[in-house]
Structure 1
Amino acid sequence: MSTGAASSRRPHVLVVPFPPMGHLLPLLDFAHLLSTRHRVPITVAVTPSSLPLLSAFLASTPLAALPLPLPDPSAPEHAGQLAPGTHHALLAAPLSTLRGPLVSWARSHPHPPTAVLSDFFLGSAQLVADDLRVPRVAFYGVAAFTTAALDQLWNGTLPLDPNSPAVLSALPGSPSFPYGHVPSVVRSYVPGDPDWELVREGFLLNSRAWGAVVNTGEADGGSRGALLWLAGCPARSVLYVCFGSMYKPPPAQAAALGTALEASGVRFIWAVGADVAVLPEGLEERARDKGRVVRGWAPQMEVLRHAAVGAFVTHCGWNSTLEGVAAGVTLVAWPMKADQFIDARLVVDVHGAAVRAAEGEDDVPDSGALARVFAGVVNAAELGGLRDKVRTLAAAAGEAVEEGGSSWLDLERMAKELEAASGP
């Protein structure tokens, strides 16, 4: 693309999401803000398997173009399909082959993209931006703490020693994490494996991005039955339990959790997702007066913001952590894998706005001890100033996204800089 062509371009952002829902939805939330608030035309490059998830986005984002009809590397008919249990980061390898189709589409478009916005798992989109000679913005759907940790880990010596803690010496205070608490995308890396080398190359390419955005988006939707039940519950009396859309508790763990919920005596909502097999037998019947089970996709933000909900048992995925903080509920941290141990460290130790329940996807905690934690966070026993810290964080989060707040102003500045980058 010639320099002369660049001088007459109008802003147009090519958005390249990573398919899993926890990555896709926050990036679409951000793209929606960019499009509706700043009138920036958006084209979203998605594979057919993600297309159904975009209907609401396209309906609410008038400037968004139709998605690109790209081949789907994760579909069964393609060699890039992942076997069950494979780390989803390996989707980045087959998705990196879309560089050619994306560049061809962009060069033939009457209004070529002036910038690329992609998920941080898709650092290969930097090569698309390089080919088009346009800036790329990397979107991080994790905490800034995790973003910095990943940068140091991927740029360090790999693989890590499983018998030694990972010390992040480049970060303030040189935080140290046991090997099992290091993000699983780093621990799963296999040196010399072609697909994993592509994953690592993608993370390293993020350092060449023109800019970076750290996620403050929200994602929710689903069943409303629990909301009707909440209407009859006293304020701050309900414990909400959800471990995200990708984690299925093993039977022993689910049994301990179910026993603890019953023994705690607190009201609860347990969002189990699509797999109801995790429910301990007879729990719903026994706890009919005290609890509700939500199947499928829970309306998480609406539940968390309901006046009856006072605490949230969470795996500390970043989307859920942000949603809990924004709602002003006490977080009960049970990190399982990925970046979740870093997120838990942030909210428990750094901000003092959460308590620990357990840790690890193989942990089966004592149900009696777990019940006492649940009863304590709901009944405000032994909480000290924790709820004050929660309210302070929630107020800060709310102020940041209001007009004139720090996040609002950051988006304003980024939109103006992208527009300037599209010119001569």
Structure 2
Amino acid sequence: MAPAPTAGADATPPHLLLVPFPAQGHALPLFDFAALLAARGLRLTVVTTPANAGDLVPLLTAHPNCVHPLTLPFPSHPSLPAGLENTKNCPPVYFAVFIHALAALHRPVLAWAKEQSEHPVVAVISDFFCGWTQPLSVELGIPRIVFTPSGVLGTAVPHSLFRRHVNKRPVERDDGFKVTFPKIPGEPAYQWRELSMVYRTYIEGLAEELAGESQSLKQNFLWNLESWGFVSNTFRALEGRYLDTPLEDLSFRRVWAVGPLAPDTDAAGERGGKAAVAAGNLSAWLDAFPEGSVVYVCFGSQAVQTPAVAAALAEALERSAVPFVWVVSQDGVVPEDFEGRAAVAKRGMVVRGWAPQVAALRHAAVGWFMTHCGWNSVLEAVAAGVPMLAWPMSADQFVNARLLVEDAGVAVRACAGGIGVAPDPNDLATVLADAVGEKGSVARARAKELAGEAAIAVRSGGSSHQDLEQLVHEIRML
């Protein structure tokens, strides 16, 4: 998203403090947003810790005069292993503890900010898991903007849960128990198991010694509702229904929709670290297949499938006879001999570790994306014009799946989803075969249409471009 022409650079550009949440799916889109702000001449200081500082290198390299790191020690906590500075290896039950521990950065960040007399901070932009920056901004007498790596719907749902304190527990965890969201357009409803694990862990109760951390999790979301507004990685053609009117579940706060922030193929490649398969090799393999015939399968960097789930997926891929690329995490499992059989049949490829997802989705041979519906993956598929086979696991993914299937029409449900829930191989094989066949034509056409709308949104004059320029203007007015 290129910056609009300006009359001239400010003599003293506004200085913003950015506080990312140390999880890849949260930090990377915030860095993409930071790049847009830096390209418009704003001065940015980004809070990081030693183990996470490397993630900032591409942003610092691209904008050395505008972006500066503030590296602070990660706060220790007796319930967290020493050296744990991001959520990659954090057990779900300790997620609230991690958020609670990170909040201890409040004091050193406040002390640093008070020393910035030459370039005082005019606003804080922080992830929605960094609610502690709201009282920080109050102490500094400046506004705080919440950055959400989710869409508007995916942001409103958890805030609604904490705001209303939905606390009715299903009998014996009955999956039929549903929670309705009456203040959200369409009044969506989700089964208890489809709600964020963060909220379910909070409501079902942590160990007694972690009760304080659990309460701080609720306070985190309530603090967000006191902010100046929300910046969301979304766009009006995808979520206009939830942008047209301020939402009560977001305390009627302003939402600037500035997405999609999906990176280009080069930027995405830099993030891969040690790639298991070079982009060129995967592209060469895909070149052998007709347009739109291959299903790309990937469930994100953190979801590890159980052997039962992996076996069901492998069997479905073989029965469906569709060409596929299956990306398996470093700790993931693949049924014995499956990879060899796929190679012999010259119909499938298994990629272990990282894969060039953005480049793969934009290859002409890739016609469908089987995904966990993590928001970053969703937007990468949307930007590429690739329809999705929705297989949500946790977090905001069930909410995203509903949006994609029922609102946007760019996805079909692969299975009921959920961590460890194995689909029926026959049913999944049918879904795969139908998707690449004539039955998938409507979703394919709608995906291409939405990709065009996404491209227009970030161009000069587009809805996301206008929201971004308006936000930058209001920051300059501070």
TM-score by length of 1: 0.92
1:137 to 118, 134, 145: 145
What is aligned with 1:291? 348
Aligned residues with identical type, % of pairs: 42
1:147 deviates by 1.4
Q: Distance in 2 between matches of 1:203 and 1:347?
A: 25
Deviations 1:178-215 (A, max 9, x none): 11111222111156811111111111011111121011
CA offsets per residue over residues 83-113 of structure 1, 9 Å max, x none? 6343535321011111110011111123121
Give the distance between the partners of 1:17 and 1:79, measured in 2 at CA.
16
CA distance in 1, matches of 2:285, 2:97: 41
Q: Could you say which residue in structure 1 is the equivalent of 2:262?
A: 218
Q: Is the 8 A contact 2:93 2:201 kept in 1?
A: no
Whether the 8 Å contact between 2:44 and 2:66 is mirrored in structure 1 is yes
Q: Paired residue for 1:27, among 26, 30, 39?
A: 30
Residue-by-residue CA offset, 1:252-290 (whole Å, 9 max, x unaligned): 000111111122111111111222x41111122110111
Q: 2:308 aligned with 1:305, yes or no?
A: no
Aligned position for 2:313: 257
1:371 aligns to 2:429 (yes or no):
yes
Look up the equivalent residue of 1:304 and give its one-letter code: L
What is the aligned residue count? 411
Shift of 1:62: 2.8
SS in 2 for 1:138: strand
2:98 aligned with 1:91: yes
Residue 203 (str. 1) matches residue 261 (str. 2): no
Q: Using the alignment, how far apart are the partners of 1:258 and 1:401 within structure 2?
A: 38
Aligned to 1:282: 337
1:384 Cα deviation from its structure 2 partner: 4.8
Unaligned runs of 5+ in 2: 1-10, 172-176, 234-258
Secondary structure of the residue that 2:70 maps to in structure 1? coil
- The answer on whether the counterparts of 1:87 and 1:188 sit within 8 Å (CA) in structure 2 is no
Give CA deviations for 1:138-197 in whole Å, capped at 9, x if unaligned.
Answer: 001111111121221110124342243111011122211111111222111156811111
Q: Is the 8 A contact 2:262 2:383 kept in 1?
A: no
Paired letter, 2:153 = F
Q: Please give the residue correspondences for 1:17-166 in structure 2 after superposition, counting only pairs within 5 Å.
A: 17-36=20-39, 38-73=40-75, 76-77=81-82, 84-109=91-116, 110-163=118-171, 164-166=177-179
The secondary structure found in structure 1 opposite 2:438 is: coil
Q: Which consecutive residues of structure 1, in runs of 5 or more, have no partner in the other structure? A: 1-7
- The SS at the match of 2:214 is helix
The structure-2 alpha-carbon separation of the partners of 1:87 and 1:258, relative to structure 1 and needing over 3 Å to count, comes to: farther
Shift of 1:343: 0.5
4+ runs deviating over 6 angstroms? 78-82
Q: Could you report, residue by residue, the CA deviation over 1:33-80 in whole angstroms, capped at 9, with x for unpaired residues? A: 1111x1101111011121111111211123344321211137843799
Q: Which residue of 1 aligns with 2:251?
A: none
Deviates more, 1:245-254 or 1:172-181: 172-181
Change (3 A) 1:79 1:59: closer
Check 1:83–1:214 CA distance in 2 against 1; reply closer, same or farther (3 A cut): closer
SS at structure 2 position matched to 1:66: strand
Distance 1:241 1:83, change over 3 A: closer
* TM-score where L is the length of structure 2: 0.82
Give the drift of 1:381: 2.7
Distance 1:83 1:325 in 2: 30
Q: 1:199 and 1:67 mapped to 2: Cα distance?
A: 27
SS in 1 for 2:225: helix
Sort the Cα spacing of 1:83 and 1:360 in 2 relative to 1 into closer, same or farther, 3 A: closer
Q: Does 1:319 align with 2:376?
A: yes
Residue number among 286, 289, 299 corresponding to 1:230 in the alignment: 286
